[in-house]
Amino acid sequence: MPGQVIINAEAVSWMRKQPSSMYDLVIADPPYNVGKNYGATVDSVDNRGYMKFLDEWTLEASRLLKPHGTLYAFMGFRFISSLYDILEKDRGLFFNSWICWHYTQGQGRRRGFSTRHDDIFMFTKHPKKYTFNLDDVKVPQKYYRGVNNMRGANPGDVWEFSHVHFCQKNRQAHPTQKPESLIERMVLASSHEGGNVLDPFSGSGTTLRVCQQVSRGCTGVEINPDYVKMTRERLRRPFRGFDGVDPRMKRVPLDLNDPAVRSEYTEDHKRWFLKNHESDMAGFEKEMLRQYGPFTRRKSGKSTAPKPRNADLFTK
């Protein structure tokens, strides 16, 4: 079983001392240079200083990636175009996806549109040979069709996950904690069980926690000793499912009118889409009940289920 290692160090200095081609996947969520207070560091330097930092950490992160490895990098709008250029031109990595993480809540603005998304790049070290486990990250189909493969659809590059709210049990005392489900999608898509993941700015330990639960090894590097301690405690806690869920994961397909098919699909759905989200299964079952109502089977095998609300709309 691969292990989780949390290191209290400055990321660039630590990475410089590591041998090349060690990691299948790097998930980097660095400070964006927007003045956040991370306790041990002030997230505010002049532009030239920040460009130097981008250059240094990307150089080391791409060196540490295996030849078929993948890098995900979060970035704020001020430096996103610079990061794109650095990764493509200076590091020679291959662009794969520009993911928009859409969250539904945040600070409101009065003059201008309220910010509701973060940008995440996915680059690979090889243009064609890289891991992408599509089946592990699919989202449920909108409609049931007997001819369809109901195993799901590609989630696309706009990902909706709400922030981890202060009232949630898993909320850590960290200003930019990411939802576990967001990181789960990256880890499941771009690494295999037993793989080796690096998070050079690990913060509250979200990537380590996800990797721990999906059987990947993970090394996290974090400069603030308080966050390192927080991560150690987080990794010791019993697992009760990842925080947050893509709302589509609870989606009940329309047109699922045959009770026998519905019953089989219900079990498949939970196994395919809600594997690490036990606490969301009840919500899915509730939605199934709301849409199709309870049903029992008569001796004749005919269902007594009420006609689903959408039956007239979608059956010929």
Ligand X SMILES: C[S@@+](CC[C@H](N)C(=O)[O-])C[C@H]1O[C@@H](n2cnc3c(N)ncnc32)[C@H](O)[C@@H]1O
Is 223 one of the binding residues for ligand X (CB under 6 A)?
yes
Q: Which residues are 37's β-sheet partners?
A: 42
Phi/psi of residue 189, each to 5°? -70, -40
By beta carbon distance, the residue nearest ligand X is 203
Residue 4 sits in the site that holds ligand X (CB under 6 A): no
69 contacts ligand X (rule: CB under 6 A): no
| Interface positions, 108-167, toward ligand X (CB under 6 A) | none
CB of 310 to ligand X, least distance (A): 39
Residues 6+ apart with CB under 8 A from 160: 102, 103, 104, 246, 247, 248
- 18 interacts with ligand X by CB under 6 A: no
User: Is 310 within 8 Å of 292 (Cβ atoms)?
Assistant: no
Nearer to ligand X, 37 or 304 (CB): 37
Radius of gyration over every alpha carbon of the chain, rounded to an integer in angstroms: 22
The C-alpha atoms of residue 200 and residue 17 are separated, in whole angstroms, by 13
Contact mark string toward ligand X, 173..212, x via CB under 6 A? -x-xxx----------------------x-xx-x------
Among the listed ranges 61-69, 97-105, 222-230, 284-292, the one in contact with ligand X (CB under 6 A) is 222-230
Q: Find the part of the chain contacting ligand X (CB under 6 A) among 34-42, 103-111, 127-135, 151-159.
A: 34-42
Applying CB under 6 A, among 221, 228, 249, 256 the residue interacting with ligand X is 221
Q: How far is the CB of 280 from ligand X (least distance, A)?
A: 20
Closest C-alpha to 189, from 163, 162, 159: 159
Angstrom distances, CA of residue 113 to CA of 107, 117, 137, 159, 239: 10, 11, 31, 19, 38
Tell me the window of 38-46, 247-255, 268-276, 279-287 that interacts with ligand X (CB under 6 A). Answer: 38-46
Nearer to ligand X, 41 or 105 (CB): 41
Q: Which is nearer to ligand X, 61 or 252 (CB)?
A: 61
Tell me the site size for ligand X, rule CB under 6 A: 21
CA 25, CA 187: separation in Å to the nearest integer?
8
Listed residue (189, 179, 238, 230) closest to 212, CA to CA: 238
Sorted by sequence, the CB contacts under 8 Å of residue 214 that are 6+ apart come out as: 184, 187, 188, 193, 276
Closest to ligand X by CB, 222 or 280:
222
For ligand X, the binding residue among 21, 37, 41, 104 (CB under 6 A) is: 41
Among the listed ranges 36-44, 85-93, 98-106, 133-141, the one in contact with ligand X (CB under 6 A) is 36-44
Which amino acid type is present at position 68?
H
Q: Minimum distance from CB of 227 to ligand X (Å)?
A: 5
SS3 assignment, position 226: helix
Phi-psi category of 203—alpha, beta or left, where left has phi over 0 and alpha has psi -120 to 50? left
**Minimum distance, C-beta of residue 222 to ligand X, in the bound complex (Å):** 5
The answer to whether 224 contacts ligand X (rule: CB under 6 A) is yes
Nearest distance in Å: CB 32, ligand X:
7
Instruction: Give 274-291 as a DSSP string.
Output: -TT-HHHHHHHHHHHHHH
Which residues would be at the binding site for ligand X (CB under 6 A)?
A: 10-11, 29-31, 38, 40-41, 174, 176-178, 201, 203-204, 206, 221-224, 227
